[in-house]
Amino acid sequence: MDKKAKFGFMYGIFSNPKTSKIKLFKAMKMCLKEIEKQATKNKLGMVYTITGEPSLNKLYTKHMDMKLCENNVKSYVMNLNKKKYKNLDWIS
């Protein structure tokens, strides 16, 4: 077991349906940046999440540099240690 390879799971991002799309996008991106910051601070190697929402798929892949792992369940990984985990093609 590699005790240095810490793995985080990001469970759900929820929002108020009455919030404008632009405001929601900015808020979600800000939340994800903070999750990334906290995960890095806590020395995690990766953060993993899943979603079935097309809008989150776009946010994760186009705006957060997250790698799509499984297309049918839409799972993602945030690589916080790009020196150690250079190529994540194995996870696809």
pLDDT tens per residue, range 68-86? 988 777 678 889 988 888 8
Side-chain-facing half-sphere of 5: CA atoms under 13 Å? 7
Tens-digit pLDDT profile for residues 5-38:
688 888 877 788 899 999 999 999 999 999 999 9
Q: How many CA atoms lie within 13 A of 59 on its CB side?
A: 22
